[in-house]
A and B are shown apart, each in its own frame.
Chain A
Amino acid sequence: MSDRSQLISTGEPFEFDKKRDAEFERLIKRYPTRESMILPALWLTQEQEGWVSQEAIGYIADRIGTFAAKVYEAATFYTMYNLKPTGKYHICVCRTLSCWLRGKQEIVDYLRDEVGVTPGKKTEDGKFSLEEVECLGHCGTAPVVQINGEFYENMDVEQLKSLLATLE
């Protein structure tokens, strides 16, 4: 885990586009309290922008009518929310127990040495970004790597190498 408390400010006000706005209004009816909307709203933001900025967190809090600190908590707790712009391919390597025991470190070391990306960073060309994340729920097929939302199970360095080669 790394410190995710440093939010990035775009300096521009954030708001949902038309599509997400409608989706927000549709979803919020599902829940007994407006605060339940924190996680879906963060997803909508990430869908729209690819990442979650400081302004977006403030916007969500005000839109829901809750404390910004609460949205901030959720956004920093869950590693699935990107708090900075990602590379074209965002690689998430699970760091929780099963994956750790089954060799996630070799994968991370390979990415550092051969691809040139460390957790929380991007490659210089912006093609890859890497994050070590909390449990992805595929412990039975550890270690697991997630690239732009797609799961790749039972990973090892060889498989990852050929997988990355297929990515443009």
Chain B
Amino acid sequence: MADKIKLFVNGEEVEVEAGKNLIDAVGAVGIEIPHLCYHPALGADGNCRMCLVGIEDGRPPLVPACKTPAQEGMKVLLDAEHIKKIQHDVMEFELINHPIDCPVCDQAGECKLQDYYMSCDQKPSRMTVPQVTKNKKMDFGGGVIHDQERCVVCGRCVRFLRQITKTGELGIINRTDDARVNIFPGRPIDNRYGINVVDLCPVGAMTSSDFRFKQRVWFLKKASGVCHGCSKGCSITIDHNKEKNKDDIIYRFRPRFNGQVNGYFICDEGRLSYKSENENRLTAAFIGKVEREISDVLTAAKKELEMSKKAVFLISPDASLEQMVAVKALAAKLGATLSGYSDGYIKKGDGDDYLIQDDKAANRQGLLLLGIDTTKESFEKAVSEADLFVNFASDLSRSYEQDALTKLLTGKKTIVCATHESAFNGQATITIPVRSYSEYSGSVINCDNILQRFEKAVTKNNELLDICEVAAEFGCPLQTPAEAYAELQQVIGMLKEYQPATIPAEGLNLNDSEAANVTA
């Protein structure tokens, strides 16, 4: 734990973490100091002047909180009249040339200008001269659309691209009231993290070309998720909504702060991977190519399992730990061989030294920890010896060409549990649609051995079965999620101290004590 210090805010004593600036220190205990340009990932810039506070120790009457380290015994003034006046004055400056087009602005509802207008300003404009006009709807590339008139020139986007991605596509052009953010002509935003500037923008100047005009943000339901785009497992917020007479769909992923995993950001690819949760989903159950009721299909599948002499189960490296233990328990009961073969999920050379990983599987560490074999040799050997192949949502098309796959499975019965439509589904003896990761809760372990829990976000009109439920139908000894979790606690010692709901939001670092505790 970090050291604690005591200081006074408006005369009241509060205990805060040492070594932080005032905004972060008192922000952590729920006292907000208004600020626009400061962001903890980008450091203090001090250009917006919104965070000016008083410190009663003989310094100048106003100091920027973003550049002031919290110190023991400090007396911070936030509610004095002169502080409120300066906040109001800064807001008035910010709004002189702001178009105030909130009704058509995507940021409305999560806009700092709106918030601070309500908390610090609430005065009509006194301006009688025409506003400075600038450019609107500028395509900066990389899925970012910019409105120069809404911009408060805090420079967060510019600093992000210089400090974090080190690509520096944006700059602040001109000076004084004509200052504006722009790209250099012909050099648009071109990096794999560019859309983060949309989240960073405290106002509606940066909008995502993918999300803009799709939803008012106050209609969106939020759930804590974990990105399944690669093995980094960035913490995300899943924003979804079920409009009247429509299905529950996801509108965007946003990064959710996790100091252990992704910090404040996610990559663009992961951010846009929400689309695959909405599109091309398998929703119907099939026997051969004929669509049937799910109950009939499950009965048929059970019959196949009973008739089979030797079965091979393949589990997806994206599956949750709960699903993995359930399928593992089922395989043990039925005497089937379990494989986690998924070399095709690894895209060599695609990763970088920041967040993106070569391995596109969300829970390969889970496979390894549960002792599930992932080698190609043993998988193919097992398949060649088996008469039934059951695929639990692993995307084989990543590892095999269609022809090679057909050849591998020739003469075998196949049961496929799939989240998405694919050519392979059509060839299966039995096809069962299952939920994808935004539709169940569970845990995954990322490439750095950090176990994270994610919530069920989406509830479809036509609720599919979860892999755990399918396994339970097939006779898995772990019939409920609670039983699966209890089994997990046996395998991962660290989990004994936690219930699913009490696993911390930033996850559990299994490196600390886990290696010795794994009993699988």
Please give the residue numbers on chain A whose beta carbons come within 8 Å of chain B beta carbons, in ascending order: 1-5, 7, 9, 54, 57-58, 61, 66-73, 76-77, 134
Count chain B CB atoms within 10 A of each CB in A54, A68, A71 and give the residue with the most: A68
Q: Is there contact, CB below 8 Å, between B171 and A69?
A: yes
- Any chain A CB within 8 A of the CB of B126? no
| Interchain CA distance A54-B184 in the complex, whole Å | 9
Residues of B within 8 A of A70 (CB): 168, 171
Complex Cα spacing A69 to B162, Å: 10
Pair A2/B178 contact, Cβ less than 8 Å: yes
CB contacts (< 8 Å) of A9 on chain B: these are 185
Q: Would A69 and B170 count as touching, CB distance under 8 A?
A: yes
B175 in the interface (beta carbon within 8 A): yes
**Would you call A73 and B172 a contact (CB within 8 A)?**
yes
CB interface residues, B 406-453, toward A, < 8 Å: none
Cβ-defined contact, A1 with B171, below 8 A: no
Q: Can you list 22 A-B contacts (CB < 8 A)?
A: A2-B178, A3-B134, A3-B180, A4-B174, A9-B185, A54-B185, A61-B184, A66-B168, A67-B162, A67-B168, A67-B169, A68-B187, A69-B158, A69-B169, A69-B171, A69-B187, A72-B171, A72-B173, A72-B184, A73-B172, A77-B174, A134-B175
Contact yes or no, B175 A69, CB < 8 A: no
B172 CB to nearest chain A CB (Å):
6
Distance from B139 Cβ to chain A, minimum over Cβ atoms (Å): 15
State the total of A-B contacts with C-beta under 8 angstroms.
60
Q: Give Cα A66–Cα B167 distance, bound, in whole angstroms.
A: 9
Interface centre among A7, A61, A66, A77 (most CB of B within 10 A): A77
CB distance from A38 to the nearest CB of B (A): 12
In residues 153-180 of chain B, which contact A (Cβ within 8 Å)? 158, 162, 167-178, 180
Chain A residues with CB under 8 A of B170: 69
| Distance to closest chain A CB from B138 (angstroms) | 11
Q: Is the CB of A69 within 8 A of B184?
A: yes
* CB nearest to A7 among chain B residues: B185
Q: Which residues of A contact B134 (CB under 8 A)?
A: 3
Cα A72 to Cα B185 with chains together (Å) = 9
12 other A-B residue contacts (CB within 8 Å) besides A1-B176, A69-B158, A134-B175:
A1-B175, A3-B134, A5-B180, A54-B185, A67-B184, A68-B187, A69-B184, A70-B168, A73-B171, A73-B172, A76-B173, A77-B174
CB distance from B133 to the nearest CB of A (A): 9
> Would you give the shortest CB distance from B26 to chain A, in whole angstroms?
34
Contact B175 A68 (CB under 8 A): no
B183 within 8 A of A: yes
Of all chain A residues, the one with the shortest Cβ separation from B162 is A67
List residues of chain B with CB within 8 A of the CB of A7. 185
Asked if B168 contacts A4 (CB within 8 A), the reply is no
* Interchain nearest-CB distance for A44 vs B (Å): 19
Query: From residue 168 to 207 of chain B, which have CB atoms closer than 8 A to chain A?
Result: 168-178, 180, 182-187
In the bound complex, residues from chain A placing their C-beta under 8 Å from that of B177 are 1
The interface residues of chain B lying within 8 Å CB-to-CB of A1 are 174-178
Verify A67–B171 contact, CB threshold 8 A: yes
A67–B158 Cα gap in the complex (Å)? 11
Assembled-state Cα–Cα distance A70/B176 (Å): 17
Structural contact, A72 and B182, CB atoms closer than 8 A: yes
Residues of B close to A73: CB separation below 8 A: 171-173
Residues of A with C-beta under 8 A to B178: 1-4
**Chain B residues, CB < 8 A from A77:** 173-175
- With the chains together, A1 CA to B184 CA distance in Å? 20
Q: Looking across the interface, which residue of chain A has its beta carbon closest to that of B132?
A: A3
Measured between alpha carbons, how far is A54 from B168 in the docked complex, in Å? 17
Residues of chain A contacted by B180 (CB below 8 angstroms): 3, 5
Whether the pair B182, A5 counts as a contact (CB closer than 8 A) is yes
Report the minimal beta-carbon distance from A104 to chain B, rounded to whole angstroms. Answer: 16
For A67, list chain B residues within 8 Å (CB): 162, 167-169, 171, 184
Alpha-carbon gap, A3 to B148, bound state (A)? 12
A61 CA / B167 CA spacing, docked (Å): 13
Residues of B within 8 A of A71 (CB): 184
**A57 CB to nearest B CB, Å:** 7
**In the docked arrangement, what's the CA distance between A77 and B185, Å?**
17
Q: Which of chain A's residues have a CB closer than 8 A to the CB of B175? A: 1, 76-77, 134
> A63 to nearest B CB, angstroms?
15
- Chain A residues within an 8 Å CB radius of B171: 67, 69-70, 72-73
Q: Which residues of A contact B187 (CB under 8 A)?
A: 58, 68-69
Is the Cβ of B173 less than 8 Å from the Cβ of A5? yes
The answer on a CB contact under 8 Å between B184 and A3 is no
Which residues of chain A are within 8 angstroms of B173 by Cβ–Cβ distance?
4-5, 72-73, 76-77
Residues from chain A with a CB closer than 8 A to the CB of B185 are 7, 9, 54
In the complex, A3 Cα to B132 Cα: how many Å? 10
Report the 3 A-B pairs with minimum CB-CB distance, sorted nearest first.
Answer: A67-B168, A69-B171, A68-B184
Report Cα–Cα, A118/B444, bound state, in Å. Answer: 66
Cα separation A134 to B168 with both chains bound (whole Å): 27
Give the docked Cα–Cα distance between A114 and B34 (Å).
Answer: 51
Q: How far is the CA of A72 from the CA of B162 in the complex (A)?
A: 15
Instruction: Give the residues in chain B near A2, CB-CB below 8 Å.
Output: 178
Residues of A within 8 A of B183 (CB): 69
Contacts of B186 in A (CB 8 A): 58
> Mask for B330-367, Cβ within 8 A of A = 1, else 0?
00000000000000000000000000000000000000
Complex alpha-carbon distance, A31 and B183, angstroms: 27
Write out the residue numbers on chain B whose beta carbons fall within 8 Å of the beta carbon of A5.
173-174, 180, 182
Q: Which residues of the partner chain B approach A54 to less than 8 Å between Cβ atoms?
A: 185
Q: B181's closest neighbor in chain A, by CB? A: A69
| B134 to chain A: closest residue by CB | A3
Cα distance A24–B178 in the bound complex, in angstroms: 31
How far, in whole Å, are A4 and B177 apart by their CA atoms in the complex?
12
Q: How far is the CA of A3 from the CA of B177 in the complex (A)?
A: 10
B476-508 vs A, CB cutoff 8 Å, 1 = contact: the mask equals 000000000000000000000000000000000
